[in-house]
Amino acid sequence: MTTYHLALLGFGNVGRALAQLLLDKAAEVRERYGLDYKITGLAARRLGWLADPNGLDVAAALAGRAAGGRPWEQSDIRAWLQAARADVLFENTSMNPQTGQPAIDYLKAGLEHGAHIITANKGPVVHAFQELSALARAKGQGFRHEAAVMGGTPIFSLFREALPGVQLQRFRGILNSTTNLILSEMEAGLSFEAAVKKAQDLGIAETDPSADVDGWDAAVKVSALATVLMGVPVKPQAVNPTGIRALTGEQVRAARAAGQPYKLICRAERAADGGVTASVRPEQVPAGDPLANVNGPDSIVTFEMDTLYSLTVSEQRPDAVTTAYGPFADFLGLARRA
Ligand SMILES: NC(=O)c1ccc[n+]([C@@H]2O[C@H](COP(=O)([O-])OP(=O)(O)OC[C@H]3O[C@@H](n4cnc5c(N)ncnc54)[C@H](OP(=O)(O)O)[C@@H]3O)[C@@H](O)[C@H]2O)c1
């Protein structure tokens, strides 16, 4: 029986849901795959950097009690990883859309230490995918980031594992839950402001919803997909998104009534010069289009390839568990390959 030492960096929505899923699934994973694991590192700004190679009391940490272990200085992530004897670093800290830092440095430290790295954070994917992939190869470790787009729904692993040798020509989708929910609520009669408030009350929109509403979260996701799946680095600034702020309730309801509902559509397409053109903007889509019927916080993306002409993946009812399943599945994928 192989026992993996897991280090969790970031203990917010994703980090906590992942910790809970790891606890819930431990016996099943042991039984089905002959794999054992214990969480030996746990870190966040307020929690501090805790490590114990014999395992931390993560259930206690989830309940707001002391997890045990020795605290380390944040400036010394290498010492923390060593103290945890980490085989896998899960990085789930806040996204920095401009630079991807400090997550990129954390992930590099994980690879230098000799651990697999797994992140739900789009920042490092958009700003350092090639660098981290090359370092992971050089170190003989894995770099996975399934949850960066559409949570635990397999997108990156789908292309990596099930679609070898395809050329992705273009994709089109709805990738931001918050704006899709706001548009659905506006169709149902709310004003833009009331729809934002409802999305916040449901825990889907953040206190400051501008990154979603102005299209930047969707632009970062388009960048991540194009960078990884098309092999062409695309920065969010180049996507230059237009959000949904300018749409009024009347416009949104009239568009739905006319059978041409508004959606925040994400697109990327390979250009003749080998580059990729990408956009995020509100578009009216015909009622018969599969995208027209993706409502609330759900997501969808259709990929067009040279050998599979149209493949659509959609996600319904995303929540903390579906997001945590991304890094969890990444871990099992790497561990079962070893
Ligand atoms: N929420 C989702 O549904 C979702 C889905 C897919 C991907 N993601 C991505 O997953 C990541 C985590 O999201 P989240 O919703 O869990 O965010 P969150 O609730 O804000 O949690 C972020 C965690 O990271 C810690 N942290 C932030 N900066 C840090 C730093 N420099 N050093 C150490 N710890 C740091 C925070 O510490 P404190 O607790 O002390 O503040 C907190 O524990 C983000 O990159 C996000 O874009 C989220």
Which residues carry out catalysis? 221
Is the whole-model pTM more than 0.95?
A: yes
Predicted local distance difference test score (pLDDT) of residue 108: 98
* 74, pLDDT greater than 80: no
Task: Name the band, by pLDDT with cuts 50, 70 and 90, for residue 69.
Answer: confident
160-170 mean pLDDT: 97
In a shared domain, residues 283 and 330: no
In a shared domain, residues 23 and 95: yes
- The fraction of the chain above a pLDDT of 90, given in percent, is 95
Predicted local distance difference test score (pLDDT) of residue 337: 87
In a shared domain, residues 142 and 179: no
Ligand 1 nearest-atom number relative to CA 93: 24
Predicted local distance difference test score (pLDDT) of residue 309: 97
The tally of domains found in the chain comes to: 2
Task: Name the band, by pLDDT with cuts 50, 70 and 90, for residue 71.
Answer: confident
DSSP 235-262: -HHHH----STT--HHHHHHHHHTT--E
Q: What tens digit of pLDDT does each residue of 14-39 get?
A: 999 999 999 999 999 999 999 999 99
d(CA 254, CA 296): 18
Task: Write down the residue that tokens 């969808």 correspond to.
Answer: 300
Structural domain harbouring 285: 168-315
Distance between the two ends of the chain, CA-based, in angstroms?
12
CB distance 153 to ligand 1 below 6 Å:
no
CB distance 151 to ligand 1 below 6 Å:
yes
Residue 161: inside a domain, yes or no? no
Q: What tens digit of pLDDT does each residue of 256-270 get?
A: 999 999 999 999 999
Distance 124 CA to ligand 1 centre (A): 13
In a shared domain, residues 8 and 133: yes
For residue 285 the two structure tokens come to 């889509």
> What does pLDDT average to over the chain?
96
* 252, pLDDT greater than 90: yes
In a shared domain, residues 213 and 303: yes
Predicted local distance difference test score (pLDDT) of residue 73: 73
Give the residue from 297, 292, 213, 306 showing the smallest Cα distance to 258. 292
Ligand 1 nearest-atom number relative to CA 46: 40
For residue 67 the two structure tokens come to 């997890």
Q: What tens digit of pLDDT does each residue of 100-158 get?
A: 999 999 999 999 999 999 999 999 999 999 999 999 999 999 999 999 999 999 999 99
Ligand 1 nearest-atom number relative to CA 15: 16
Phi, psi of 300 (to 5 degrees): -155, 150
**CATH code at 193?**
3.30.360.10
Distance 95 CA to ligand 1 centre (A): 7
Distance 264 CA to ligand 1 centre (A): 25
Q: What tens digit of pLDDT does each residue of 186-229 get?
A: 999 999 999 999 999 998 998 999 999 999 999 999 999 999 99
75-79 mean pLDDT: 89
d(CA 189, CA 183): 10
Predicted local distance difference test score (pLDDT) of residue 72: 78
